[in-house]
């Protein structure tokens, strides 16, 4: 009776526009912790934006707003491991050519950004995603309504697009959303038409190699000056190279198995920690053989035949094989012991993301591994598993509560918690481009 009274008073305070309770308990719910065994019926306590307690013997504290989770399942908030949600970017050109790579598909129109320095075109390595994210982007609410609470957002224009930022998918302004300002440097090797240097895939690789050689020389000059500046000319500040040097890791594209081999060796040459993205041919053993210690991001945009394709054009056997086998890549990677996570790659409608994940499940991936690829594995790949990705005490209170298995067509998302703040799913119309609403309770 005491808990019911507290809940009623709390909801009354919320309706009156007062601050939310600092403590919330979801009890009698199934809890998919991901990091450990699933709890058939337990309680999760949230306090001050963190998970305060979780278990089958946890009692709601006396000051908590208690939510009856009977018939519900609590999951960690989902994570998009390589996203453009929130960033207005120009439409990509030249996608699909021979040198095309796995660049996430932008969907929000915007004026083209600066090309970078004149001597280094298509290089904006200093740009951080958090500086470009618009908190009112409709895709953010749409994704949150589907259970996504975090996105690793990257600028994707140019060769050195810039540094990714980890953001939570709620907040009145971008500053409220930032979890980690810089995750790593996004590199694209998509060959685009229009002339200029570079104009071919090997030219792109040579360009990236030269940037890292320049950065290494720049760092040596800076270190020497910092150690003994007297009598030395101060090195000229270079923001393009500064952006390269401050990046913790690089993201390189690899769809075909030969690209996997090439990019793993290239990253070793650059002496950089690497994450590969794309992985359409991740089903090929020749690819997985190179990935024993290299984490990868698997695009959920499975290859399909273009609706504009000439019906008289004969497809190659390789094209048809990749289209058929790409959804088997996640299970092949799992079997080979390769750490992988999923990314949306332009699939901004929640139902499209769900269908894509289900296709991987239908092709052998277990539901447990699918959940992991959208939660803890993504966090581990970026070194953030100490704060997000699982339902554990002390982690950020990012949760999604469903009625049913999260990948079932009939499952309904009941509520989402971001930094411990409760959100309700937006009306379906908002996901189709309606006016976004905050929907907080």
* Secondary structure in 3-state letters for 75-140: EECEEEEEECCCCCCCCCCCCCCCCCCCCCCCCCCCCCCCCCCCCCCCECCCCEHHHCCCCCCHHH
Residue 171 and residue 300 in one domain? yes
Q: Does one domain contain both 146 and 191?
A: yes
Taking the C-alpha atoms of residue 353 and residue 417, their distance in angstroms, rounded to an integer, is: 20
Distance CA 289, CA 35 (A): 27
Q: Is residue 387 part of a domain?
A: no
Count of domains for the chain: 2
* pTM of model > 0.85: yes
Give Cα separations from 346 to 97, 106, 177, 437 (angstroms).
18, 6, 21, 22
**Same domain, yes or no: 226 and 102:** yes
Domain that holds residue 34: 2-76+395-431
The C-alpha angle with vertex 327 and arms to 358 and 333, in degrees rounded to 5, equals 105
- Local structure of 376: helix, strand or coil: helix
Percent pLDDT > 70 in the chain is 83
Highest mean pLDDT among 32-36, 316-320, 410-414: 32-36
Backbone angles phi, psi at 264, to 5 degrees: -65, -45
State the number of CA atoms in the 13 A half-sphere of 351 facing the CB.
Answer: 6
In residues, how long is the chain? 441
Lowest mean pLDDT among 93-102, 288-297, 331-340, 349-358: 93-102
Residue 408 included in any domain: yes
Query: Would residue 255 count as lying in a domain?
Result: yes
Distance CA 72, CA 404 (A): 7
Residue 281 lies in a domain: yes
Cα 181–chain centre separation:
14
- The span from the CA of 201 to the CA of 61, in Å, is 60
- Tell me: do 243 and 364 sit in the same domain: yes
What does the pLDDT average to over 416-440? 65
At residue 229, φ and ψ (nearest 5 deg) are -75, -20
In this structure, is residue 436 part of a structural domain? no
**Could you report the per-residue pLDDT of 276-321, keeping only the tens digit for each?**
999 999 999 999 999 989 999 999 999 998 777 666 677 788 888 8
The verdict on 200 and 322 lying in the same domain is yes
Query: Three-state SS for 347?
Result: coil
Closest CA to 32 of 41, 19, 22, 23: 41
- Residue 439 pLDDT grade (very low, low, confident, very high; cuts 50, 70, 90): very low
């Amino acid at each position: 009776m005491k808990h019911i009274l507290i809940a009623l008073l709390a909801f009354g305070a919320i309706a009156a526009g007062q601050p939310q309770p600092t403590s919330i308990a979801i009890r009698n719910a199934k809890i998919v912790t991901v990091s450990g065994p699933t709890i058939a019926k337990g309680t999760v306590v949230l306090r001050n934006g963190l998970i305060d307690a979780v278990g089958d013997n946890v009692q709601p504290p006396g000051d908590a707003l208690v939510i009856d989770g009977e018939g519900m399942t609590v999951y960690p908030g989902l994570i998009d491991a390589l996203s453009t949600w929130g960033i207005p970017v120009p439409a990509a050109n030249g996608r699909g050519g021979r040198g095309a790579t796995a660049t996430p598909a932008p969907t929000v129109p915007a004026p083209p950004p600066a090309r970078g320095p004149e001597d280094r075109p298509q290089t904006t390595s200093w740009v951080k995603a958090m500086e470009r994210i618009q908190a009112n982007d409709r895709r953010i609410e749409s994704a949150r309504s589907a259970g996504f609470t975090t996105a690793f957002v990257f600028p994707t224009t140019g060769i050195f697009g810039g540094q990714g930022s980890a953001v939570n998918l709620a907040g009145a302004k971008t500053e409220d959303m930032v979890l980690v300002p810089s995750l790593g440097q996004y590199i694209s090797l998509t060959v685009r038409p229009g002339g200029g240097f570079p104009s071919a895939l090997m030219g792109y690789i040579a360009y990236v190699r030269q940037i890292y050689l320049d950065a290494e020389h720049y760092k040596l000059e800076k270190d020497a000056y910092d150690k003994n500046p007297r009598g030395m000319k101060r090195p000229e500040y270079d923001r393009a190279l500064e952006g390269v040097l401050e990046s913790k890791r690089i993201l390189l594209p690899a769809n075909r198995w030969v690209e996997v081999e090439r990019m793993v060796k290239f990253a070793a040459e650059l002496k950089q920690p690497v994450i590969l993205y794309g992985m359409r041919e991740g089903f090929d053993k020749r690819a997985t053989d190179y990935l024993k210690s290299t984490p990868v991001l698997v695009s959920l945009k499975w290859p399909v035949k273009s609706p504009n394709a000439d019906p008289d054009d004969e497809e190659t056997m390789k094209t048809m094989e990749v289209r058929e086998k790409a959804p088997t890549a996640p299970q092949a990677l799992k079997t080979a012991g390769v750490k992988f996570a999923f990314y949306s790659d332009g699939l901004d409608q929640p139902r499209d993301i769900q269908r894509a994940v289900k296709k991987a499940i239908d092709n052998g991936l277990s539901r447990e591994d699918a959940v992991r690829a959208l939660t803890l594995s993504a966090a581990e790949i970026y070194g953030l598993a100490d704060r997000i990705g699982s339902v554990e005490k002390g982690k950020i209170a990012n949760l999604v509560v469903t009625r049913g298995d999260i990948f079932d067509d009939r499952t309904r998302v009941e509520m989402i918690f971001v930094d411990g703040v409760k959100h309700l799913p937006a009306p379906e119309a908002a996901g189709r481009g309606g006016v976004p609403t905050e929907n907080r309770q």
